[in-house]
Amino acid sequence: MATPVASFSVPPGATAKVHIIDSTTRITDMPANILLSPSMQGVDTIAEFGSWCFLVQSSKGQKVLFDLATPPDVVFTLPPAFSEQIRDAGVKFEATKHVAEILKENGVDPAEISSVIWRYEKYCYHKWPARC
């Protein structure tokens, strides 16, 4: 007997716009073992990488933000033990803007966003949409 295949029906005419946002986050000198397990031979450090956000707008105007950014003051807003671990590992975080600033600069009022989805436990939930 065949296993039924799940279906996903998209309503006719449904569309969405996806905007990719450079969050200005740059992370450098990350020990590979923090992100990769098992370790990869010859890869001890990830030299540099960034993170982006995605603003999805439905054809009806609803806006959802997938927030993958790191705020400029990340080292100061992390729990002290984690902040110390990052500092001791030599990881460097740089971000020059909060996502809300970037949205405003591009004509999007953060108050218009109906949902925000974070990839992990965000350390600045209580500040959205004003700063994150």
SS3 track for 11-57: CCCCCEEEEEEEEEEEEEEEEHHHHCCCCCCCCCEEEEEEEEEEEEE
CATH code, domain carrying 116: 3.60.15.10
CB neighbour list of residue 2: distance below 8 Å, 6 or more residues apart: none
> What is the reported pLDDT for 109?
94
Show the domain range for 114.
16-127
Chain centroid to CA 98: 11
pTM, to two decimals: 0.71
pLDDT band at 112 (very low <50, low <70, confident <90, very high): very high
How many domains does the structure of the chain reveal?
1
pLDDT, tens digit (0-9, with 9 covering 90-100), for 43-57: 898 889 888 999 999
CA-CA distance, 51 to 46, in Å (whole number)? 14
